[in-house]
Structure 1
Amino acid sequence: MKQIISLGLGVQSTAMYLMSSLRELPEAEVAIFSDTGKESTATYDYLDYLKRWQKQNGGIKIAVVNEKNLYRDLLNKSNTGRFASIPAFTAGTDGKAGMLRRQCTGEYKIRPVDDYIRDYVYGLPKGARRPQTSVWIGITTDEAERMSIPRERWKVNNYPFLGMTVDSHGNVGRVPWAVPQNRSNVMSWYRRKGIPIPPKSSCVFCPYQSDHTWAMRKRHAPEDFQAAVRVDQAIRNSTSQGVNNPVYLHRSCKPLAEVEFDLTQNIEWGECSGTCHV
């Protein structure tokens, strides 16, 4: 069974890539990063670093797939075949804020990785069933609840830092070579190796961000924040996509550029899929 790393460029998935490249874990076939079009500048900088590291150390191949661009599609909704729904906020008839259905992870993270496996790992035509494949996902023991059952019958989700696998039928197996680790263990591994720790990876416009994260982005990465403001403005009128009330990136249902962020609030507003930024 081929071993594929789903590379989110966060702390855990990058550690899997590095450990596999250093043969501290089994050698995977390829690590696939699905670029949604507007990760943070810090994440793109780290990707450049990781590519250099790969060349210098004979690391596993890194494949960047970017045919689908969520940032561009959100800015130009009329040019897309269907609305790429992100979990943005809108006020209901009772005035309370609710979140829209999230489709972005499946369409812009999971599916591009699956398509790369079909097209380039196996060289199969569209519609062909892939052989059973182990896809590594970087979830540590402190967030084990983020494990998920793959929808695709050919896929086995492999969680090296949990020591567990899950197939499409929900069958749970053990990974004999894995050593369960929490996030703190993984961070310590980076320090022992003298390798820079990746920044948290997510789209700059992700609505799940805490006020503290928004404020730090506005202060330290103003270009990234302005990109989020452009998305916030672009999605405001989403009636053509079936959303009748104004749509916002911030839970206050106010324009992002006008929000006064609470620096003490450091809790994300919802739970993003583990596939996004681990």
Structure 2
Amino acid sequence: MTDAIRHILSLSGGKDSAALAIYMRDRVPQMEYIFHDTDKELPETLDYLSRLEAILGKPVTTTSTEDNFDHWLTVFGGMLPSNHRRWCTRQLKLEPFERYVGDDPVINYVALRADENRTGYISTKPNIQTVYPFRDDGLGRADVMRILEESGLGLPPYMAWGRTRSGCYFCFYQQKIEWVLLREQHPDLFEQAKAYEEQSLLHGEAFNWNQRESLAELERPERIAEIKAKHAAKQAARRSQRKSLPLVETLGGLVSDDGPDDPEGCLICSI
């Protein structure tokens, strides 16, 4: 163990952690920026991180090893992860982070905003202290947008086609409209996600990323039309409730297509 305190900020490839990295760049020059690559990331995510590196003026360390998603899928006997068994988060995000930290005293910077009412990952290791600069300084969504715009980085490019989260392209927290948009933007990745569903049958378990609907069912033309119409109606209803919708509300965030119980998702993957 070293006596010096290390300062570490984990990047997800999302807008909030990118904005926090820029916000802390000059405040904590010794900051270490890390990214846990699952080997199942969108190409837009990797491009965004590459551009962020240039703005930070220092490299983003990738903590991944040969133990990627497919390795752990084999270890778990072909059992795909879900919101009830998130081994992907544990094996590909949390454990790589704690291995990278080791036993050194660390301040871990998390990009939860002041306008969010949720809790991020808090390590139980006594040498890791978690802090929330945006929350402490009263910065919200509009501030994140301003930081990204003023830096020249902008929003993650996947948001331009409607995806709301970083993380694996087959994340089980995606909304149905996001699956439809993934199929349109990256048909090869959509097919790979379908293949994982089909392979789950070989292990004695029918698993759907969407739980109640397979991707093969979701991609039927009539089903795609239904999902798009439902999403458009909800977006229109949302906008009609606001007389003047701030720009930040139009640049990101989808209305849930899966009802009021739609989960927020895994924060460590999507912040």
TM-score range, shorter chain: 0.7 to 0.9
Alignment of 1:177-196 (within 5 A): 179-196=137-154
Moved more, 105-114 or 186-195: 186-195
Q: What is residue 35 of structure 1 aligned with on the other side?
A: 37
Q: What is residue 240 of structure 2 aligned with on the other side?
A: none
Q: What is residue 86 of structure 1 aligned with on the other side?
A: 81
**Equivalent residue of 2:107, what SS?**
strand
Q: What is residue 208 of structure 2 aligned with on the other side?
A: 248
Deviations 1:207-260 (Å, cap 9, x if unpaired)?
A: 110011111111122222222222222334444xxxxx4111123242x13313
**Equivalent residue of 1:144, what SS?**
coil
Query: 16, 20, 23: which one pairs with 2:20?
Result: 16
Q: What is residue 217 of structure 2 aligned with on the other side?
A: 258
Query: 259, 273, 277: which one pairs with 2:266?
Result: 273
Q: What is residue 131 of structure 1 aligned with on the other side?
A: 104
Gaps of 5+ in 1: 88-98, 119-129, 164-178, 240-244
Q: What is residue 168 of structure 1 aligned with on the other side?
A: none
The structure carrying a bigger strand percent of its residues is 1
Alignment of 1:1-278 (within 5 A): 1-21=5-25, 23=26, 25-54=27-56, 59-67=57-65, 69-73=67-71, 77-78=73-74, 80=75, 86-87=81-82, 100-118=84-102, 130-163=103-136, 179-198=137-156, 199=158, 200-239=165-204, 245-254=205-214, 256-259=215-218, 260-261=223-224, 262-263=227-228, 264-265=230-231, 266-267=255-256, 269-278=262-271
The CA deviation at 1:63 is 0.1
Q: Structure 1's 83 and 2: CA in aligned 2 closer, same or farther, altered over 3 A?
A: farther
- AA aligned opposite 2:108: V
Q: Contact conserved, 1:71 with 1:231, CA < 8 A, in 2?
A: no
Q: How many residues align?
A: 226
The structure carrying a bigger helix percent of its residues is 2
Please tell me the root mean square deviation across aligned C-alpha atoms, in Å.
2.4
Q: Contact conserved, 1:5 with 1:28, CA < 8 A, in 2?
A: no
Gaps of 5+ in 2: 159-164, 232-254
